[in-house]
Structures are given as C-alpha cells and as structure tokens.
Structure 1
Amino acid sequence: MGKRQLPPEEPAEIHEVMLRDALEERYLAYALSTIMHRALPDARDGLKPVHRRILYGMRLLRLDPGTPFKKSAKIVGDVMGSFHPHGDQAIYDAMVRLAQDFASRYPLVDGQGNFGNIDGDNPAAYRYTEARMTEVARLLLDGIDEDGVEFRANYDGQSKEPVVLPGGFPNLLANGAQGIAVGMATSIPPHNVAELCDAALHLIDKPEAKSKSLLKWVKGPDFPTGGIVIDSKESIAEAYTTGRGSFRTRAKWTQEEGARGTWVVVITEIPWLVQKSRLVEKIAELLNEKKLPLVGDVRDESAEDVRLVIEPKSRAVDPALMMESLFRLTELESKISLNLNVLIKGKIPKVVGLAECLREWLDHLRDVLVRRSNYRKTQIENRLEILGGYLIAYLNIDKVIKIIRTEDEPKPALVKAFKLTEVQADAILNMRLRSLRKLEEFEIRTEDKNLRNELKGIKSLLGSEAEQWSKVGEQVRKVRDIFGPKTPLGKRRTQFADAPEHDLAAIEEAFVEREPVTVVISEKGWVRTLKGHVEDISGLAFKTDDKLDHAFFAETTSKLLLFATNGKFYSLDVAKLPGGRGHGEPIRMFIDLEQDAAIVSLFVNKGERKFLIASSEGQGFVVKEEDCVSNTRKGKQVLNVTMPNEACAIATVQGDTVAAIGTNHKMVLFPLEQVPEMARGRGVRLQKYSSAKLSDVAVFEFKAGLTWKDSAGREQSMSAKELSDWRGNRADAGRLAHGLPKSNKFLRGVE
C-alpha cells in the first residue's frame, strides 16, 4: 500500500529586510535593555534592577532586621521565580556583594555564613548561607506599602514589582555603583552618609547651590576598607563638578620599631576592591624578580583586621622611599575612577555632578512623601466615613436593631432610614455585638477627633511646598543621626593627605638592585651588559662582520646618554639592557633612532658635567649635561644639523683650551671662552675648512698639555711648549698636526 501524500504546505510570506537595518534595530534594542535594566543605577534609590528585586523579594519574605535568618537559596529562588529570570548565580553574586562589609560601605544584606573575604576567596554556595535585611535596606523600603512608589507588572504578568524603591537613604553615593553598559559605563565610589546628609540639607535651604559649594561637607569618597586619598582639593572639586575624574588611593601604613634599631612597616588598610592575597603574591613576585631592592620580605599577619608586614633590606633604608617604590609597582596605590553616569527619573542616562545627584534624591523623597500623604489622606477619609456610620448607629441603636431584626434586606432600609453610604451600612451590619457597649462610643469619638486633626495636617502639608521640604529635611536629619560620625558604621574611614615629594632619581633607583656591570657596545650598535666590572673583555664573541667598539663600567641603577649623528641625545636605563648571554640586542630596540643615524658616543650620565659638541661642518657649542637628558624614546634634539652635515664629536669640558682637528690632518687650539654655552642650536664655527670636515675635538688644560690614545690604545702626550705652534683663535684653519694619530681622532672619549 503506497504512502499517502500530504498536501504541499503553502510557503510562508517572506519579507525582505536590509541586513544593516535589521542589525541596527536589534542591537539598539539590546543596548537599551543593557543600559536601562542592567548596568546603570537609578539616581533616585541608587539601585540596579537586580538589587531592587532582591530587596523587595526579602521584604515579601518578611526578612526585616532582627527577624530570623532565611536560607539564601530560598531568597534567590523566590527572586528568580517572581522578578528576575536571569539565572540564580547572577542573583546570588549580587546579594553576596550587598552583604560584604569590605565591598559595600553600608551593607544592605545581613549575611550569616561564609560570604567571602577581602583575600578574594569565594563565598559558600547559597544552600549553606542565610540572610536578612539590614537597617539601611529597611530605610530604602520604608513606605513601599503606603503607595510611596509606582509598581509595574513583573516579567510574566503574575504579580507586581516596584519601579523604584522609596529610597529614604542616599544609597547611590553612599554605597556607590560599578557597571559597564553598551557605549557607556558608570563608576561611583562610596561616600560618607553623614556628609551627604549635611550637603543635602544645605541643598534644601539653597536649591541653586553648585557642586563646588557642597564640598564643604562632602570631602571625598569614604571607602569601606579605609585608605588615604592623595589627590589635590582642586582635582577633587573638578571631579565632583563635572561628574568625571578619579581618586588616587593609597594603603595606610605605620612604622613599628623592633629590637636593636630594627623596624618594619605595617599596612593596616588597603585600597578599595583590592584583593589582599593577590597583593601579597604580587609583592612576593617582584621580590623574586629583584625589582624591590629596598624590601627584604613580606608576610601577611592578618586576622579579622588587615595586617601586612613589610621588612626592609636593611635598617638604613628610608621607610618612605621603600613605600614609594611599593606604591608605584603594586596595588598598594590604586586609582579609583568617578563616572557619575546614572538614570535620571529611571529613563535618561546622564553624567551628573554632585549637586544634581543629591537633588535627584531629594526630589524623589518629596515625591514619595506626597504619594504617602495622599495614601494616608484616602485611608483617613475612608475611616472617618465608617466612624460616622458607627456614631449614627450608637445614637439610634434601638431603631438599628429593629431594622436588622425585622427587615428581609436590612442594608437598603438602613441606608434609607439614616441616609448612610454603602460603606457605612456594611460597617454597621458587620459590627460585633460587644462593640455596642457605651465605652466604645467614647473611643470612636476620640479616634474621629484625632483623625480629623491628622487629616488637617496632611492637607496643610499637601498644599505647602515649604512644609513638604521641611518634612523631607526632618527625614534626612533622622538618617544623619542614625549614621552620624560618632557611630561605628558612620565614622569616616578614608583620610586625605598630600602625596609626599621624593627625589625622582632616588625613587627610580629604589626600583633596581644596585650592582656593578660592564656595558659593551659593538661597532654595529649591539649592546649588552656583563655582571661586575670586567677588565678583560678580549674573549667576548660578536656577530659575523662585527667587533667591539668600546666598553665602560656602570651600575644597574645608572642612566646612559647616547649622542647620535642626527644631533639628538637619547637616555637609556642600564637595568633594561640585555644581559651578557648571547650577542645582546640592537640599541635601536630601546630608542627610536633613525635608520640613517649612527652612534657618536655612549656614556654614563653623571649629571653635573658640560660637553663640547660639534658637527662635521666644524660648528659647535658647550651644553650642560642636564640639558641633554631625554624623557622619551624619540630623544632630545640638541645640536641642529641638516644632512649631509651631521654630529661627529663630543668632549667633556675639563680645562681652558679647545683642540679641533679636521680630516685634512690640520689642528687648531683656541681658548674655551670663545665657545658659547647653549641648550640647543647650530653653534659657532670651531675650525675653518675648504674641502675637509671636522674629525674630533678635545678640551684640556693647556699648561698640563694634550693627551690622546693611539691606535694601539697607548697614551701619548704633547707639552704646552710643543703645542704653542697650533695656538690661534676659533674659526682658524689651523696647521698640520705632526705627531698626532693619522686617524685624526684623539680617542679621549667622554670623561
């Protein structure tokens, strides 16, 4: 029997859409979802949706402060099932952070069990931990049952969730927030609540106050882990005014004296969000790599409090300099950024300043106050309506009882007889018999009187903006009193100080262990260092077609100066040069030396000398060594030359006479005072030529005579009497230099 053929399906209608348009539409939807519902906090309550849902879920579970703890698994399950369908781990991670007192300045969750630690250890799984809300969370939720905020349907439409919390606590700035959205991010460090409340009260009195004026109260961030902020007041003011900036935060340390003059540095506070275990590992790693020559050892003696002990290499070490080297290389100094990018009214992402940020919170408090007052007003009016019905019943009790006993439908009869409302009639019919005693009538009249007085006050409040702000001010003062500077939680933890000034050379020297080395450079520009001061380097191997140019002694902390034919000076750190194994590396790996430029001289920078530098055209000048130091790989232009003219000679200024010798083997001697001292330029003519070029220069004491080295490295000299025939003036052509090397080089080098 053959298979029955199914009727062919009609092809679905196909719509052609441009790929670009489809991608733009979908990516924009994703971006908006990330910005609005995940990454950026609301300026009003300072919470992201996941945190808001966690707190509301805990509220429904009645986990108020002081109540028994409930399993975190129960909280996570309820929040995920009712409000946040994005995975249990995401919810639990957010809840854990709210409970960590080293991450949150004012924790919103009171955790019981292992919620992680400052070392970076993970918390226990949610089946092992328990939680409830803190007093701070209670303040954020206070009024949510009194129509204080708007509600919306949850993700499946089965229940309602708050759009924003009443936010009776300045959570946005107090606890801060971190988040990365699409095309924008937020980074808000925590602050001190008492200071924020003082600034908010000033803002209530003077609504037009600028962010800068609020810095009288808000000094800067207040991190849960303490530390010291070392930024200037000007940069802090700039950050809070624009809503963008950063804070340099350092660990807090003290020096503890030991026996026989020994001492150690003890670190008691580390920067916010720095994992202590990773910090100790980094210091130990730097010690092994010999990048902390002033530090002898590090050990972690922390219990509940942080206690990192740093031992110096010796008693002679400067503790401040040792700590400076640690601050520069480790997370003991951390830069914490400020990017006040928040959702205004829950809808508009915007970077705001301190004043606007607090203004959003205060405006929200006023909105919540008005909503709660209207809710209470409605409640009172409904209760007064019922009390009115009760009083009519008491005054006509016999008639009421008769109607109820005799009428088949007593409700319409009561309404008609006493002109009652439906609500009043229902209330009378639902009264208990024991409520008919005489004492109850007196209590009802008292309640009616009190409620009318309260209603009068609420109507006055709703009709007066000044009264509303006064009420908001009272609320802010209560928060300030709860978390005042004298309370354990409210006391400021982060201090402020100016960064200590140290000699830059001393700091850089502190990063490298000081050891003697020999710097070797080949003719083709390959450089390397040998350990120790090696006198005999004849056995060194070089690449094919390459050989030794020269070698000199230095230390690992030394700086080198390289003078090139392009007239530039370059700076190099000996510590960064390759070791003695192999042939080294091209010196061009460490500096941006042009391909057509070559090395004239390489020597140790000592900082207090003067040099005579000259070009092949015979022009030159005297320059201070400090003016030759470069801070970049590109070098520093000192002698101005244009090809084919190039820098060709350098000599240390030690004496009163200059010797200049050309490629024509002519030499001239003239007084050093005829050569100007400059920081940069072409210089003046030292020797005159017709077709030759300058070969070398030397500066010496004329009375002591001129010394040089021959091709074999032997030292030769000529006395002042023998040199008298070559004496002249700057820019003279000179005379043939009998007795001097045929290479036309003095080979004196930089001394």
Structure 2
Amino acid sequence: MGNLTVGQIEDCTLSRALSERYLAYAMSTIMSRSLPDVRDGLKPVHRRLLYAMYELKLNPENGFKKCARVVGDVIGKFHPHGDASVYDALVRLAQTFAARYPLVEGQGNFGSVDGDGAAAMRYTESRLTSTAMLMLEGLGSNAVDLRPTYDNEDREPVVLPSLFPNLLANGIAGIAVGMATRIPPHNAAELYRAAQKLIEKPEITIQGLVKYIQGPDFPTGGVLITPKEEMVEAYALGQGTFTVRAKWNVEKKTKKNWKIVVTELPYAVQKSALIQKIADLILQRKVSFLEDIQDESTTDIRIILEPKSAELDPEQVMERLFQLTDLESRFNLNMNVLENGKLPRVMSLKEVLQAWIDHVHEGLIRRSSYRLDAVNRRIEILEGFLKLFLNLDEVIRIIREEDEPKKVMIQTFKLTDLQAEYILNMRLRSLRRLEEFQIREEHAVLLGEKGELEKLLASDQLRLEHVSKDFLELEKRFKKRKEDKRLTLIETAPEDLDLSGLEEIDKEPITVSFSAEGWVRAFKGHGLDTSSWSFKGGDTNAFSIEIQNTDKFFLFDSSGRVFTIAASDLPGGKGFGVPVRTLIDLHVDSSVIGILPFYTETQEILFVSDNARGMIVAADALGSEKRTGRQVFNPDKGHSLSYIFEITDENHILFLSKAGNMLIFPLNQIPKMQRGKGVSLQKTRGALIKAIKLFNLEKGLVWKDKKSPKMEKNLKLWIANRGQQGRRSPDWI
C-alpha cells in the first residue's frame, strides 16, 4: 500500500490488504525471528543475548550474574518480546546436551536430558564462554556494522564477527512462515580444517570436504550410521537425513548372565520418555524378549536392559529396539539460512562454509582498516611530540607568551591540528628525556606495523593466508581440549539381521475371545475351557480363535467391512477386556459376524450374505492397518454379510434356505474376487439362508442334529450347480 498521511484513508480490496499484511508478517518472521544468518549462525534473540552479556562484561574471567538481569537488559534494550521466550533461548545456549559448544556457561539448574525445565531465571546465573568470546572478538574494532535498536536509544550489531563457525558447529533449528531450517552440530576442529582446505583449494568438491568433516557431531554422542555417499548427497543439496543410534555395550557377569547397557542416546531424545516407551512395550508384550528396564543414570547415561533369556543375541535385541523406539532416530537436514542476513536460501555445505570464510575475511579487512586508522593517528601524534622535543624551549615560550598558542605552533612548526591539540594537553612531567626515548621507540614500532597493515590490505592472498593461519591456531586449540574431541562415532550401517530367533522367543499361544456385547480380550494358552471365562453381567462368548500373540486376525462386520487387529494390542484375560470400538471404527449400524486368524496371504475366505450372494477372497486383499478397515463385500440393499468361512481342504458347500430347500455344489464354482457384491449362490425366492456347511465330499458330510452328529455320504440328489434352488431338504437335516 502507498505512503499515507495521518487521517488519509485508502480504499483497497480485502484480499490485497490481507496478502500485504501477511507478507509483511512472513518476512518479519523470516528475517527477525526464525531463520539464522549464515555468517554467525544466530537468530536475532541469540545475537542480542550474547551482545547484552558482552556489554555487561560477563566474560569467562569475571563472575556470574543473575539470568534475570541478562534477560531484563535484552528485552529492555534490544528485543521487545516476552521474557519467557528470551530466557528459554538463554537456557538452550547453556545446555551441554543441547549445544555442542555452549556459548553461555550456566550456574544452577538449567534442565536435564530427561526433559526437565530450567529453574526460574531469578535463581540461575550465567556468563559467556570462551567460545562465545570468539564470536564477539572484533566488536570494538569496527569488524561489523551497528544499527539503531528498536527505540533508537542504543546500537546493536547487525551480525557478530564470529571467528567461530557457529552455524555448523552448534547447528540450529527454526520454523518460519512457509519454510524451516534444521542443521545438526559438527566438530569445530574438523570445520576449521575443512575451511583451511577450502581456502587453499577453492575448487574442492563436497566429497573432498567430507574427508575432513566426517559428519554431524552431536553433544549427546551416539553412533552415526548414514552411508558416506548419502551424507555427500545431503551436504551437496543442503537437504537430507542422518540416522543416529544409541551407543551401547554388553556387560557380562557370567557366560549365561549378561545385560545391555545404553550409554549414549541420539540427539534430542528425552531419556525419561524413551524409558517409558520401552517399559510400555514390555507391558504390552511387544518386546517380550526383554525382562526389565532400569535407569541407573547419574551425570552419565546408563540404561540397563535385562533380556528374558541368556540365549538371545544382543545384536538382534538391539536391532528390534532400534526399529521400535527412539534408540534410533533420524535428523532431517535443511540448510535454509539467510544469505548475508537478507534472503533465505537452501545452501550446500560448501556454500555455507564459504559464506562464513568470506565473513571472517571481511571482518579482517575491517579490523585491519580500523587498526591502520588508529596507527596513523598515533603516528601523527607521536611525530608532533618529536617536533616538541626538538623545539622544547620555543614551544614553552609560545605557550607562555602567545594569546593563541595553538595557531602559532601550527604555523611555526608545521603541526597538524591534532598534533597541536595533544601538545597543549601534555603534562609537564612527560617532558623527560626518557619519555622522548619511549616515543621514538613506539614510533618505530608503529611505522613497522603500518607497513604490515598496508601490505595486508593490499593483498587478497596475504589476507586469506592470515585467515587460514588463524584457523590453524583455533583448530589446534579445539583439538587440545578433551571435551572438544569427536563425540559421535561413525560406523557402517549394519546388514539386515535375521530376527526370527526373537520372534520365536516372543511367541506365546493365546485364545482370542469376542463377546456378544462386543468386548474383546486374549487368554494365554490353547484348548481352554470357555465355560470358566467370566463376562460382564448377561454377556457371553460369541467367537473365539486360537493364535499366537505375535499374529494378527481379521474381524468381519455385517456391512462387509474387514478389520485387521494385532493380537499384541489386546488386553489380557484377567479383566473383561476392552470394547472393540476402542480398537476399530465400527459403524453404529454394523455388528461383528465373526473373527478369523490371519496365517498367510494365500489363505482364502468365503463371504456369504443372508440372501445367498457370495465370493471367495484371498487374505492379501483383506489386510488394512487403518482403524476404518477395508470395504470388501458390498451386500444388496436391505441385506447384510452373515457368514464367513476359512477354506482349508473342503471342496463342496451346502446351502439350506429358510424355505426348506437344500443345495450342494463344488466350491470351485464360486468366483475369486478382491471386492464386490459377489454372485448368486442359491436361488432362494426371497427366503433367507438358514444354514451353510463346507465339507469334503470324499470324506462325507457330518451334520449335527439334536441328538448326535451324523455322517452322510449319499448326497447325489442335492448336488447341482451354483445359483440353483436345490431340492427339498432331507428329514435328517
């Protein structure tokens, strides 16, 4: 919208007004809140925190100050936002499990890897670390531009000088409008080494850089298993995925008594939540190869996993846990950063590293120019002092006798205004002979420094060599410190392990019970006496099947929908179970007509409606992990799916209608379909089906009457083809 004067109103469409305001908000979020600057790797709130602490002189050599004081300065002078968000940012800069190289040293409770929050800012204290001082070095030497603060009462740096590669060393995460960034931390010594190689050989490839930067280096350690070629691709694109696993070992008391000890977790995984997840899996019998889990952590991580059997393979146990829990996690790389603090762009590893080198190089130019100006000024002053000593008596006379001594001295001794001013302000005791000697000595030193600075500023090559030399010194410094050694191990991704041994340990025979009122549960064992089962008042057992606790089973409803349920999701048989509607989305007008085990994808299920329409469906067309199931059979309007059968060795089917007609025909006359309404199986003339029986013709038909089962082999009269009406049923039916 145009520039408006006070009181002026401009008409515009709602869509235009909304789009312009949303764009302004989006750009504000991107530029001033969520995305880091590629040069110092900081968001505005982090930069202002460090600068406020720098102004408070909270250097590593000085004492701590209350975090409340720091936060107060930040929100009062630089960052007009809520104190909670600023304090959270300060806390994260100090957390050793969140920041690979903490920029703030905290004193007090700054949270834990369990997800515990920090103490209130009135209780905690903080100061800058030596790493943060590297970020701030050069602020007093015009290394970066300063801009007015939000209220124009102070000034703040646009970006920090950042002799430390903070963006890559500490990583960062942020979400803006329509874009996000997530960069993992890396090893500082490796970054300095790679930067030297990039200066030495600008045409170096990403693959060449990865020889020096081995991959992310997380503060919590862990094991990086991402293949090198995938890392190279991710770094080249600026987007990709890194897979990190927990570090673990086996402690053995005897050959038949061992336990797994987890000593390092993947980055950003909360220990307490992870332990709770594994404990839940044990209770749900999804990891029945584990007996127990214990947390013996103090300052170091120590999680104990007790196996159920000493015969198990620890590698297989951990492989299964990696699949099921956050003991293995993925870190999504997205190097979307502000290029020179202006435009967001996804940059490659080489581009990010080069942008930081260029920033350090620019800082060197600015610091050198600032120093050269200071040296020239001091040389000018010293040369004036030397003229003073050569003409001391005359200078004293002029000062004592002349009305305008400054003007006379300038004319007499060819002094500059600056030289004359300093001579007039000089103390008499400085006129000693020793002072003259020191001035001449300082003058000679400064002339030498001036020559070096002029050479440096005149040569791009010399400056880059200077930067590379600084990087080498910093590389050595970070290599010396024990806490700066690489924490995250690099290992080759393991081959796919055969976990069938675990599955055998997992397997337990269970009997699934589904009650008439829709409650489902699992009893341990097979061949159980169903009469001993207890149900809620008036409820009874409707269906039961015998399977393993690692199996899945199908549940069929009257609308023709099929649901797949994992036995491991069922509660034990001690209570009354759970309503089936808590496991699946069963329509209010539908009822459950049966359950069948799911063994193989080739097993076949026969669907039959109450009006004698049906089809055969292979099990692989039934499975669905969704709560809503899969619509397989579509009954005619006013009718419903009423019968389901698993076909084993049967080859014929018997239909008995309520009209009293019986029809037998071969099963192979029923078509196999994946879904649909099926075909007519018996002509019922409006009557519904009374009974259905699958049997093997060679073995005969076994039919139970009120007295006892009967075997019948003489069935020729009723054998016909599918879709016929059949004959009047025999007396023994």
Under a length normalisation based on structure 2, what TM-score does the superposition of the two structures give?
A: 0.79
Query: Residues 551-592 of structure 1, C-alpha deviation per residue, up to 9 Å, x if partnerless?
Result: 332343322246899999864322335777779756897389
Does 1:410 pair with 2:439?
Answer: no
2:78 corresponding residue in structure 1:
83
Counterparts of 1:37-186 in structure 2 under 5 Å? 37-186=32-181
Give the one of 534, 556, 565 matched to 1:572. Answer: 565
Stretch deviating more after TM superposition (135-144 or 608-617):
608-617
Give, in angstroms, the shift of residue 536 of structure 1: 3.9
Percent of aligned pairs with the same amino acid? 41
Give, in angstroms, the shift of residue 541 of structure 1: 8.1
The separation in 1 between residues aligned to 2:80 and 2:366, in whole angstroms, is 30
CA contact (8 A) 2:555 2:592 kept: no
Give, in angstroms, the shift of residue 409 of structure 1: 2.3
Does 1:355 pair with 2:350?
Answer: yes
The separation in 2 between residues aligned to 1:237 and 1:513, in whole angstroms, is 42
The separation in 1 between residues aligned to 2:508 and 2:568, in whole angstroms, is 9
The separation in 1 between residues aligned to 2:7 and 2:185, in whole angstroms, is 55
Query: Residues 700-743 of structure 1, C-alpha deviation per residue, up to 9 Å, x if partnerless?
Result: 696xx446454669665578xx89x89x9x99999x99999988
Counterparts of 1:180-219 in structure 2 under 5 Å? 180-209=175-204, 211=206, 213-219=208-214
Give the one of 513, 520, 525 matched to 1:528. Answer: 520
Does 1:493 pair with 2:468?
Answer: no
The separation in 1 between residues aligned to 2:547 and 2:721, in whole angstroms, is 37
Give, in angstroms, the shift of residue 499 of structure 1: 5.6
Q: Cα distance 1:102–1:741, how it changes in 2: closer, same or farther (>3 A)? A: farther
The separation in 1 between residues aligned to 2:481 and 2:27, in whole angstroms, is 41
CA contact (8 A) 2:617 2:674 kept: no
Matched to 2:549, the amino acid is T
Give, in angstroms, the shift of residue 615 of structure 1: 9.2
The separation in 2 between residues aligned to 1:55 and 1:436, in whole angstroms, is 44
Matched to 1:243, the amino acid is G
CA contact (8 A) 1:212 1:240 kept: no
Matched to 1:373, the amino acid is S
Q: Cα distance 1:385–1:117, how it changes in 2: closer, same or farther (>3 A)? A: same
Counterparts of 1:121-520 in structure 2 under 5 Å? 121-209=116-204, 211=206, 213-258=208-253, 261-284=256-279, 287=282, 292-324=287-319, 326-328=321-323, 330-433=325-428, 435-437=430-432, 440-484=435-479, 487-497=481-491, 498=493, 501-502=496-497, 514=508, 516-520=510-514
CA contact (8 A) 1:292 1:513 kept: no
Query: Residues 673-702 of structure 1, C-alpha deviation per residue, up to 9 Å, x if partnerless?
Result: x999x99899xx9x9999999998968696
The separation in 2 between residues aligned to 1:712 and 1:218, in whole angstroms, is 82
CA contact (8 A) 2:286 2:568 kept: no
1:551 corresponding residue in structure 2:
544
The separation in 1 between residues aligned to 2:397 and 2:430, in whole angstroms, is 17
2:3 corresponding residue in structure 1:
none
Give, in angstroms, the shift of residue 631 of structure 1: 5.7
Please state whether the residue corresponding to 1:553 is helix, strand or coil. strand
The separation in 2 between residues aligned to 1:310 and 1:335, in whole angstroms, is 22
Query: Residues 387-446 of structure 1, C-alpha deviation per residue, up to 9 Å, x if partnerless?
Result: 332333334444434434443322222211222211122233344445555555554444
Give, in angstroms, the shift of residue 182 of structure 1: 3.5
Unaligned runs of at least 5 residues, structure 2: 1-5
Unaligned runs of at least 5 residues, structure 1: 1-11, 744-751
Matched to 1:491, the amino acid is K
CA contact (8 A) 1:204 1:473 kept: yes
Q: Cα distance 1:326–1:209, how it changes in 2: closer, same or farther (>3 A)? A: same
CA contact (8 A) 1:615 1:641 kept: no
Q: Cα distance 1:305–1:740, how it changes in 2: closer, same or farther (>3 A)? A: farther
Please state whether the residue corresponding to 1:357 is helix, strand or coil. helix
The separation in 1 between residues aligned to 2:629 and 2:151, in whole angstroms, is 66
Query: Residues 302-342 of structure 1, C-alpha deviation per residue, up to 9 Å, x if partnerless?
Result: 22212222333444555445445554554434443333232
CA contact (8 A) 2:584 2:628 kept: no
Query: Residues 261-292 of structure 1, C-alpha deviation per residue, up to 9 Å, x if partnerless?
Result: 32222221123233334444454455556555
RMSD: 5.0
CA contact (8 A) 2:515 2:541 kept: yes
Q: Cα distance 1:710–1:422, how it changes in 2: closer, same or farther (>3 A)? A: same
Give, in angstroms, the shift of residue 371 of structure 1: 0.8
Please state whether the residue corresponding to 1:268 is helix, strand or coil. strand
CA contact (8 A) 1:609 1:652 kept: no
The separation in 1 between residues aligned to 2:123 and 2:631, in whole angstroms, is 68
2:584 corresponding residue in structure 1:
590
CA contact (8 A) 1:43 1:172 kept: yes
Query: Residues 515-548 of structure 1, C-alpha deviation per residue, up to 9 Å, x if partnerless?
Result: 62233476xx95734524433459998999x997
Matched to 1:447, the amino acid is E
Query: Residues 46-102 of structure 1, C-alpha deviation per residue, up to 9 Å, x if partnerless?
Result: 112222222222222333222333444443444444333435444433222222211
Matched to 1:490, the amino acid is D
Give, in angstroms, the shift of residue 481 of structure 1: 1.7
CA contact (8 A) 1:69 1:130 kept: yes
Q: Cα distance 1:415–1:378, how it changes in 2: closer, same or farther (>3 A)? A: same
Q: Cα distance 1:582–1:597, how it changes in 2: closer, same or farther (>3 A)? A: closer
2:596 corresponding residue in structure 1:
603
Q: Cα distance 1:494–1:642, how it changes in 2: closer, same or farther (>3 A)? A: farther
Q: Cα distance 1:641–1:471, how it changes in 2: closer, same or farther (>3 A)? A: farther
Stretch deviating more after TM superposition (254-263 or 18-27):
18-27
Matched to 2:97, the amino acid is F
Give, in angstroms, the shift of residue 383 of structure 1: 2.0
The separation in 2 between residues aligned to 1:287 and 1:598, in whole angstroms, is 30
CA contact (8 A) 2:655 2:692 kept: yes
Please state whether the residue corresponding to 1:372 is helix, strand or coil. helix
Please state whether the residue corresponding to 1:123 is helix, strand or coil. coil
Give, in angstroms, the shift of residue 238 of structure 1: 4.2
Counterparts of 1:729-740 in structure 2 under 5 Å? none
Give, in angstroms, the shift of residue 114 of structure 1: 3.2
The separation in 2 between residues aligned to 1:283 and 1:612, in whole angstroms, is 37
1:9 corresponding residue in structure 2:
none
Q: Cα distance 1:430–1:669, how it changes in 2: closer, same or farther (>3 A)? A: closer
Please state whether the residue corresponding to 1:389 is helix, strand or coil. helix
Q: Cα distance 1:586–1:51, how it changes in 2: closer, same or farther (>3 A)? A: closer
